[in-house]
Chains A and B, each alone.
Chain A
Amino acid sequence: MNEIARPARPWDRTPPERREYFELLGAGLVAVLPGRRPGGEGGSEWSPPTGGAWVHVGEDGRLRGFIGKAEVGQGTRTALTLVLAEELRVAPARVELVMGDTDLCPWDMGTFGSRSMPDAAPALALAGAGAREGLVQLASARLGRPPTELEAADGEVRAREGGAALPFAELVRGGRHRVLVDPATRTTPPSNWTRAGRPTVDLGAEEVVTGRRRYATDLDRPGMLHGAVLWPPSYGARLRDLGVAPASSAPGVQLVREGEFVGAVAASPLTARAALRVLPATWDRTPQPSEREIEEYLRSHPAEGDDWDTDDDQAGDVETALRGARWTVSATYRSSYIAHVPLEPQCALAEWDSERLTVWVGTQTPFRVRGELARTLAIAEEDVRVIVPPTGSGFGGKHAAPVATAAARLARAAGHPVRVAFSREEEFEHGYLRPMSVIDVRAGVGPSGDLVGWAFANLNGGAAALRAPYRVANRRVRSTQARSPLPQGSLRALAANPNNFARESVIDELAGLAGLDPLVFRERNLADDRLLAVLRQVTARAGWAGRSRSAGRGFGLAVGLEKGSRVATVAEVSVGRDRRVQVDRLVSAFEAGAVVNPDNLRSQVEGAQTMALGEALYEAIHFDAGVLANPRLSQYRVPRFSDLPEIDVELIDRLDLPPAGAGETPMITVAPAVANALFDASGLRLRSLPLLPSGRLPAAPQR
């Protein structure tokens, strides 16, 4: 399943000069952009997230790039291929990318936070440019002409004025050329791109439409068995007694117990699950809060000593400013726990070869999972290989990989390769959720419509997009954590969604009190020119100034910046006589620096906004006493075709700016724009996400 053999040690843990590039990839030229060593000097899991890149030019004509990011459906494989093809001056179809293989790829912190393009693209471009320069040097020696008279084009190096030309394969034949790339190497500026920057359909389209693309769930190994995990009946429950001896399991089933971990292995996943279902296990449960009391619980259970995603930024004197303000707002905004719902539930296949382990797993963080496997299985990290096959989306939910550790334990016990695939219920219950946010906001405006005071505190949700892009001299913004009773972690845009929802809603509340149009109020107070530019672009496109109000129709505006990119959205909604709500149109302007693949970017923006609509309107995890009440797609509603509004997106291509992250930011304006439009239509200010759990506008204002 991976044609490249296993190196003696993972390459990210081997000095560049000792990596077996030529033994494993064949003779040729390799250009290596050195990466940091994980854990060691100058690098840790939370160090600046670049792990280098390498490019191999083979004597067989193959061109391969290696990068530690994972492709989980966001389209970076194609975008990164374009970037490498650009530097190598070849057609994109000639370039192959090896991604997310911890034995062969440079170390990478993980595929999250919209970092693939900002981090991996420049690294790969540098390695590609280094390879190109190395090829030009080889040609220079062969042709006896200075490098300045030569250029790489269409897979060969040739004299600029024509004449002599040598194909890459010919140049490297029989060679073992190792180029250590200087990080100061010049890469091709976006304004000179001829391959990147063009709309390009996913280069693997044919295997997708024929059903041949093999995800982790589709992989097979000789002798493979299927595993399943025995889960506690509620969060916090501990196994008291299994009720049977592990050896006494049903025919064809092997029960495995290692400490708290209990699993089963059988020839079919259904058989393994059935064997676990009938176990007479008993559990010690701990009291867990219910959904009704969750806000009070979070407020009274601060996470002491946990500084994950916290922030505290203050300036001026916010209390005095608020006392002196002409108009003030004081409100609490909330967002529910929600789930990622990747269409492919998590899955891993583990195989032992003597003491070394290989795990194929759909994860966004292969290197982190490698460490997790080494710790859990008590083996050296060098003996673990994690390979990320094509993955059926992640949205931040595939960072940890409980399936990987389970498959590895079961495979070791069974002496066979084992695949563990989550059911949809397990995906809901045993991944993790987006944290609930409780956001307290107090804000004030002076007589001329200027923001004078801003106090904004997110409890439990996180710090993303916490700092407002508005000019305000007196402020205090904070993110603090609570001891969440439900497992929580990353989710696409994470706190940027609730924080932008709260902030942009309050901005509209303030504009209303000050008697100013929401556009005028934002123009007056915004501190970011790029954001102002997208705001003006979208209001012009949506016809904001000339919008026609009528009964039951509303228009809402929101802006936001995150991960270096900017977005502004106008939402149009209608409310029927039965108080049913229809989101009719979302018009957005989006700016993420230079655009690498407009085709995929548009798809990312539309997909992000559709996903955000679900979070805005109806997605919520319900729970009681440590048990999820709706861990099924029949009970947890996500957007369908019939929910789709008209989504109109203007992409602003800034060739003067490097590509910024784009997978998350388009989401952040959807909920506040819709909430503001609902207020415009009905006079109701909705302060909790989801806005419309019942699908209808409530009759009376919420608390």
Chain B
Amino acid sequence: MVDSSGTVRVNGTIRKLAHVPLDRPLLAVLRNELHLTGTKYGCGEGQCGACTVLLDGSPVLSCQVPFSDALGRDVTTIEGLVREGTLSPVQRAFAELGAFQCGYCTPGMIVAATALLRSRPEPSRDEIVSALDRNLCRCCGYRRILEAVERAAALARGQASR
């Protein structure tokens, strides 16, 4: 596979990458080339959601996206959700409710939930379940994550009304 030089906009900053094989998964590029380790490897086959990032605003499983697909596009990772030192509503809700245990799945959960709330600001329980069903948590039993997403929706509404 040929190597490529190209640019990707990651968390708002244009990053130039040289000599990266075009078929290399975006996940590996983020973690190994750009040292953005918040995005996690869990299975490498798109089954666990730990590697979820936003590509042009839509949630994708970055272990399944070849680097070539990300060229010239906009990637948002967990590191990009903090704005001016302030946690996003989803991050705040997960932190306040302690919606994690080991925390390894949490970045993927938060990114997936962020995408959901952008398209559905007031999701039903069923909508949250179906939006997050690609994301696995092995520790905490899911309920608290559902509640965190609901609280995040409420927090975001509160912010919007201020």
Contact = CB atoms under 8 A, between A and B. Distances in A.
A517 B40 CA distance: 49
Nearest to B78: A211
A52 to B, nearest CB: 26
A209 interface: yes
A390 B106 CA distance: 14
B139 A607 contact: yes
Interface stretch (B2-10, B97-105, B153-161): B97-105
A638 B87 CA distance: 31
Contacts of B87: 206, 209-210
Interface in A203-246: 204-206, 208-215, 217-218, 220
Interface in B97-136: 97-98, 100-107, 110, 128-130, 132-133, 135-136
B43 interface: yes
B137 A343 contact: yes
B101 to A, nearest CB: 5
B140 A603 contact: yes
A395 B145 CA distance: 20
Interface in B35-51: 35-45, 47-48, 50
B44 A220 contact: no
B136 A603 contact: no
A644 B143 CA distance: 8
A148 to B, nearest CB: 40
B94 A647 contact: no
A632 B45 contact: yes
Contact of A73 (B44, B77, B102, B128): B102
A424 B24 contact: no
A474 interface: no
A202 interface: yes
A270 interface: yes
A18 interface: no
B84 interface: no
A625 interface: no
Tell me whether chain A's interface is mostly helix, strand or loop, or mixed: loop
Interface in B17-53: 24, 28, 31-32, 35-45, 47-48, 50
A606 B144 contact: yes
A208 B142 contact: no
Question: Max chain A CB contacts within 10 Å: which of B38, B95, B104, B135?
Answer: B104
A211 B79 contact: yes
A395 B138 contact: yes
A212 B31 CA distance: 13
Contacts of A604: 101
B5 to A, nearest CB: 17
A209 B43 CA distance: 21
Contact of B101 (A75, A218, A220, A638): A75
A208 B91 CA distance: 9
A96 interface: no
B93 to A, nearest CB: 9
Contact of B24 (A217, A270, A607, A633): A270
Given A342-B138, A343-B50, A218 B37 contact: yes
A220 B35 CA distance: 9
Nearest to B130: A642
A424 B44 contact: yes
A392 interface: yes
Nearest to A610: B141
Q: Using C-beta atoms within 8 Å of the partner chain, give the interface range for chain B.
A: 35 or more
A372 interface: no
A215 B39 CA distance: 11
B48 A633 contact: yes
Contact of A343 (B39, B104, B146): B104
A391 interface: yes
B103 A73 contact: yes
Contacts of A270: 24, 28
Contacts of B138: 341-343, 393, 395, 607, 611, 638
A424 B143 contact: no
Interface string A321-363: 0000000000000000000011111000000000000000000
Nearest to B97: A201
B14 interface: no
A132 B92 CA distance: 35
Interface in A147-196: none
B35 A72 contact: no
B136 A638 contact: yes
A641 B129 CA distance: 6
A108 B119 CA distance: 49
A111 interface: no
B8 to A, nearest CB: 18
Question: Max chain A CB contacts within 10 Å: which of B79, B128, B143?
Answer: B143
B79 to A, nearest CB: 5
Interface string A645-682: 00100000000000000000000000000000000000
Contacts of A214: 37
A663 to B, nearest CB: 10
18 contacts: A73-B139, A202-B100, A206-B87, A210-B81, A213-B103, A217-B37, A218-B37, A268-B28, A268-B32, A344-B40, A391-B102, A392-B103, A395-B138, A423-B44, A603-B139, A634-B43, A644-B143, A647-B143
Given A208-B100, A218-B37, A606-B142, 6 more contacts: A201-B95, A201-B96, A210-B38, A390-B102, A603-B141, A606-B140
Q: Top 3 closest A-B pairs, CB basis? A: A211-B38, A73-B102, A392-B104
